[in-house]
Structure 1
Amino acid sequence: MTTPHQFLAPEGWAQAKGYANGMVAKGGELVVLGGQIGWNAQQQFEHFDLVGQFEQTLRNIAALLAEAGAGPEHLVRLTWYITDREEYLANLKAIGDAYRRVLGRHFPAMAVVQVVALMEADAKVEIEATAVIPAKPAQVAA
């Protein structure tokens, strides 16, 4: 997947795999999404496992991006909050598969943080997202 943004990769650094160390986005509209969890549009959980909730969380992010006129390629940052590091590590392949199914092969700057709990008792993952929709040529200041 291509992105209109620049990936930061200093000379001599090992290539980031599945994430970016940093990104540069110039101009345009900033899209900031609050923490999304793995429930459906009616705020009901259909999945009680990490992988199912993770995929639903990404679908929620994709729906909000679309509402803003953006797509996964506009993401510049994701912050994941997970409640169980061991469950996360045990499911890396399935999580990666779900990520690529929903967001493709665009990997923005990311952080994954283990937390004790999330506000919704059944939630296993919460993800905050930031995207930048590039300015159209007519929007660029002279």
Structure 2
Amino acid sequence: MTLTPIHPEGWAPALGYANGMLAPDGTLHVAGQIGWDASKRFVADDFVGQMRQALANVVAVVEAAGGSATDVARLTWFVTDKYAYLAAQRAVGEAYREVFGRHFPAMSMLVVSELVEDRALVEIEATAHVG
């Protein structure tokens, strides 16, 4: 089986990983996305701002593979502060719907002590089925 690397146009290079890997059957594995933009600059220092950007990054990878947000079947969230997430539930929901609309795939959330990028508060990975 040959996998195709997926990299949204205009994004800074991914070093040592791929943003997405597309299988011939249309299964797309999206690498963990954080709250930075295409130039790898953080757009916010708050949980909701980073979460919105991470979700938008997930969708950008899916779209680069020819899909859309509704093709996402699974999201896994890694958060560094459970209480920041819980305290912002209304804003989290609003930001989520801005990016994904009313599409709610299977989701898991794990609380971790830290992420590789020190400023990152959330990392979100996905599995989608495109084509």
TM-score if structure 1 supplies the norm length?
0.74
Alignment partner, residue 50 of structure 1:
47
> How many corresponding residue pairs?
108
Structure 1 residue runs of 4 or more that deviate by more than 4 Å after TM superposition: none
Look up the equivalent residue of 1:101 and give its one-letter code: E
Q: CA deviation at 1:72?
A: 0.9
Alignment partner, residue 118 of structure 1:
115
Q: CA deviation at 1:80?
A: 0.1
Q: Is 1:72 the counterpart of 2:69 in the alignment?
A: yes
TM-score if structure 2 supplies the norm length?
0.80
Distance 1:34 1:78 in 2: 11
Distance 2:127 2:106 in 1: 10
Look up the equivalent residue of 2:93 and give its one-letter code: G
Identity among equivalent pairs (%)? 46
RMSD value over aligned CA atoms? Answer: 1.2
Gaps of 5+ in 2: 1-23
Distance 1:72 1:34 in 2: 15
Look up the equivalent residue of 2:98 and give its one-letter code: R
Q: Residue by residue, what CA displacement relative to the aligned partner does 1:99-131 show, whole Å, maximum 9, x if unpaired?
A: 101111110110011100000000000001000
Distance 2:93 2:109 in 1: 13
Look up the equivalent residue of 1:40 and give its one-letter code: D
Q: Structure 1 residue aligned with 2:92, among 71, 95, 99?
A: 95
Q: Structure 2 residue aligned with 1:105, among 87, 102, 112?
A: 102
Look up the equivalent residue of 1:127 and give its one-letter code: I
Q: Residue by residue, what CA displacement relative to the aligned partner does 1:11-49 show, whole Å, maximum 9, x if unpaired?
A: xxxxxxxxxxxxxxxx94101101000001110112000
